[in-house]
Structure 1
Amino acid sequence: MQIAGLNNQTVRQHNRRAIMALTWRYKRLSKSQLAAHTGLSIPAISKILDELVGEGKLSHSSENLSSRGINSGHYQIPIDGALILCMDVTPTCIESQLIDAQMTPVGDFSHIKVNAPTPEALLAAIEELWRQQQKCWPGKQINLALGVHGQVDPVTGVSQTMPQAPWKKPIEIKYLLEEKLRVSVRVDNDCIMLTLAEKWQNDSNRQDFCIINVDYGIGSSFVINGQIYRGMLNGSGQIGHTIFDRDGIACDCGRYGCLETVASLSSLKKQARIWLKSQPTQSALDPETISIRRLIDAWHEGDKQTVQWVEQAANAIGLTLYNLLNILNINQIWFYGRSCEFGEKWLQTIYQQIGFTPFDHGDAIRTRQTQIGFGNLTRQQQITGIGYLFVEDALVQA
């Protein structure tokens, strides 16, 4: 077995990346602040900063961040870089936020409904939003970062499956948009978008954490040792397609009894419609007009049948997460998606199924106990998260 050592060049590259990552996270930092974060000496920090400024990767301002003592201004990502239009894309809705080179929002957050019966119609809707921004920023390069529901190949930028779409074929989103718009395009799964948002904008996160998105389907994404784990074939995070009931109903993936078939919002809505049609006088809910919004309201109103469905779904999620925790020992989990509107009772039902993992004992209970909660990032922050694909690419080359 060959094990690579760390030579001076490798250590230097690591330190450069650390300084760049800190600057993207905190926007503006002085030499002393960078030294405190990295543990490097001021002379070592100064030498690396001079290199990065000379390469145009950082800029220096004489403005001091503190009025105490003598310091040499601060460092930041150059503001004159390309803008990034971040989008969360489905066939029925596109949410977007423009951000600058420092990953700071520019202008208003946008939520528009779209009608995309074909891949071409969806690409046209994306292009139209981009062209609207280009009119507002003439002469400025505006790159695209897209979070897409379903299975995505982040290397090729191909949307392989999009469960909410009426089509089944893959879409070469990255290639087609780059050819048409002549800008850089990054594409990844919408759960990766949420994970990037948490990784870069929530300082309380540990080195290992998990995002669970319970909405139309159920997706997840893991950060291990501070890095998003995708797996060799980019298939990591398919928690919704773990088998929960081997005798269950068919899933869109072709197998039977996946977690999505019993615990996603689409499965709850389907279950409600079937039951309501067979028991027309047993509930005030209408099978023809039942919506996810109505199911959430019925849960809070205490509708007996709805409570039973939602609790069964929460129990299924909890049992699946129990197995996940025992395998990976990731003990910080954040929930996103419309299912979060079920509230604390839904979350507690999930937590009760998990209990304490075999690793939550002794001092671990007090300091590293499994932490499960709702994600606190705003929707604007969540959409901005997909823009950090450009940051992570840049760090590889720092």
Structure 2
Amino acid sequence: MFEPGLNNSRIRSYNKRVLLTLIYQHKQVSKSLLATQTGLSIPAVGNILEELLAERLIDHLSEGLSKRGVSGGSYQIAQNNRLILCMNVTPTGIESLTVDSRIMPQETLCSSGTEAPHPQALLQAIERIYYARRKQFPGWRIDLALAIHGQVDPVTGVSQTMPQAPWKEPVEIKYLLEEKLDTRVLLDNDCVMLALAEKWQNAENSRDFCVINVDYGIGSSFVINRQIYRGSLYGSGQIGHTIVNPDGAACDCGRYGCLETVASLTALKKRVRTWYKSQPPGETGIDWDTLTSAQLIKRYHEGDRLIQGWVEQAANAIGLSLYNFLNILNINQIYFYGRCCAFGDRWLQSIIRQTGANPFDSSDPHMVNATHIGFGQLSRTQQVMGIGYLYAEKALAGV
């Protein structure tokens, strides 16, 4: 099928989306700045702003942004007496943060551990946090934006698979929470949360980029032409399930030798435990059966040569998988997140070395189109806020 042509109505909708995007990005913006950044005339911008005001998508403030000359006020996303409760949800813990409709934080980031032997227990933990915010912000309607670990169908709101969870069946999170709480619920994968955070809060990134989360598992999300790429089955970004050793260990996905079985924190801790438990007792003061990620990272930085070698092997495996992705997709901006980033620059440089032989990349790191691989710089608060931008994208899609 052919895409429909750009008639006047479609052009106007496009311009409305552009203005609304800029208002989300700037939080509060003047008519003159919108005209400057879009190349539209001030009367044209004014007409579009009037439409957005009539649709109650934005608010007009008498407060100006300049102290010089006559001010026409400023514009921001409409408050509409609504807040958004952003949550990053795993079977073992939930991070939560309340933001307003502009995606501006209204509190400090909260973290709480959870014990969820079954899906209902996890839903109850989400509900408790929601009801606590209802008390904290009386009189406000609170919508939910959930980042869920594992494979998620963002349309139906079903958590299809959740790593680390003791259950294997799909969970209809959106339907169940909307029925119980009588509020709107949007959800997506936790790596999409990071991609949205980078897209909306980092003005430095390009139109195409990738975020990779290396933690207890390994996930990724791609932004192509400023849009999250999810794939028709919502399984895009499963870099952790690329096979690096067909004869390797069994993976939770049912296959063998996936990258996660070699290079994730879970895999590294398993390897370290297995080795040290087979050795004569030492004086480390560590119970290897309960080795934590923090202890593993600490031993790495203290110079444990075995652990350093295993971490480097893990980084090399990530780099090789990433090399293949770079050749296929030609995305040249990569951001790393997750607790494995605490291994530091040596870990990162091992990854970068494996991607350096890309035949389609410039050898000059200062070239605009050269591949840039580094640690993401957004704070944890900004990362969790990222899932709130599901509501921004939904608003833009409706214009």
TM, length-normalised to structure 2: 0.97
- Whichever residue aligns with residue 245 of structure 1, its letter is N
Distance 1:376 1:364 in 2: 19
Match of 1:346 in 2: 347
Match of 1:108 in 2: 108
Distance 2:363 2:173 in 1: 50
* Runs of 5+ unmatched residues, structure 2: none
Shift of 1:277: 2.1
Shift of 1:205: 0.9
CA deviation digits over 1:16-46, x for unaligned, max 9?
0011111011111111100111111111111
Distance 1:273 1:351 in 2: 28
- Whichever residue aligns with residue 181 of structure 2, its letter is L
Distance 1:19 1:327 in 2: 34
Q: Is the 8 A contact 2:363 2:370 kept in 1?
A: no
Shift of 1:135: 1.2
2:374 is equivalent to residue 380 of structure 1: no
Distance 1:48 1:363, change over 3 A: farther
SS, match of residue 336 in structure 2? strand
Match of 2:162 in 1: 162
Distance 1:19 1:359 in 2: 36
Match of 1:184 in 2: 184
SS, match of residue 40 in structure 2? coil
Shift of 1:139: 2.9
Match of 1:117 in 2: 117
Q: Is the 8 A contact 2:365 2:372 kept in 1?
A: no
Match of 1:97 in 2: 97
Q: Is the 8 A contact 1:148 1:187 kept in 2?
A: yes
SS, match of residue 374 in structure 2? strand
2:32 is equivalent to residue 5 of structure 1: no
SS, match of residue 360 in structure 1? coil
Match of 2:398 in 1: 397
CA deviation digits over 1:30-81, x for unaligned, max 9?
1110011111111111110111112211111122211233341111112234
Shift of 1:138: 2.4
Distance 1:158 1:78 in 2: 29
2:36 is equivalent to residue 23 of structure 1: no
Alignment of 1:327-342 (within 5 A): 327-342=328-343
SS, match of residue 367 in structure 1? coil
CA deviation digits over 1:303-355, x for unaligned, max 9?
01101110000000001111111111101010110001000111011001110
Shift of 1:2: 2.6
Match of 1:208 in 2: 208
Distance 2:318 2:238 in 1: 13
Distance 1:293 1:365 in 2: 35
Shift of 1:278: 2.1
CA RMSD of aligned residues (A): 1.5
CA deviation digits over 1:266-318, x for unaligned, max 9?
01111111112222357845422322111101110110110111000000000
Q: Is the 8 A contact 2:239 2:259 kept in 1?
A: yes
Distance 1:355 1:156, change over 3 A: same
CA deviation digits over 1:1-22, x for unaligned, max 9?
6343211111111100011111
Q: More deviation in 51-60 or 173-182?
A: 51-60
Q: Is the 8 A contact 1:276 1:286 kept in 2?
A: no
Distance 1:2 1:363, change over 3 A: farther
Paired residue total: 398
* Runs of 5+ unmatched residues, structure 1: none
Structure 1 residue ranges (4+ consecutive) displaced by more than 4 angstroms after TM superposition: 362-365
Distance 1:260 1:389 in 2: 28
SS, match of residue 84 in structure 1? strand
2:316 is equivalent to residue 298 of structure 1: no
Distance 2:124 2:319 in 1: 40
- Whichever residue aligns with residue 124 of structure 1, its letter is Q
Distance 2:359 2:218 in 1: 26
Distance 2:113 2:38 in 1: 45
SS, match of residue 28 in structure 1? coil
Alignment of 1:204-283 (within 5 A): 204-281=204-281
% identical equivalent positions: 60
Distance 1:180 1:263 in 2: 39
Q: More deviation in 235-244 or 278-287?
A: 278-287
